Amino acid sequence: MSASSEPKVLTHKASAAIEANRFVKGGADNAHITKASAASDKLIGVSMNAATEAEQKVETALNGGGARLKIGSGGCAFGDMLTADSDGKGIVTTTGGNRVGAMAMESGAENDVVAVEVVTFLI
């Protein structure tokens, strides 16, 4: 059984479709977010619900709280630092210059949805 803290949530509008449990970054303005697509993106949190089109509301789990994140290629282990792949999924990183968006609170394989703590910083 995994454990994570209560999420710190802020609601934004989607710039385009966003799946649940993906890393997100700022959109065109302060009211919008978009799905992250690179380890260099300025990650702001994890989408907690899906938006099927632009302008729909997305609850975003922010730094300092828990969330659930879909894992990308290579899986993860408890304690791994995660960044975004090209689909907003979490992948393990230790590379300088990458932006971390979460710490894994449980191990998972590719496409698993795992508990994470949202932490945002630049390696």
63-99 residue pLDDT tens: 999 999 999 999 999 999 999 999 999 999 999 999 9
Read off the pLDDT of residues 1-48 as tens digits, 9 standing for 90 and up.
566 789 999 999 999 999 999 999 999 999 999 999 999 999 999 999
Number of structural domains the chain divides into: 1
**Which two structure tokens, joined as six digits, stand for 115?**
């508990």
- Beta strand pairing status for 66-70 and 32-35? unpaired
The yes-or-no verdict on residue 53 having pLDDT over 60 is yes
Full domain range(s) for residue 101:
1-123
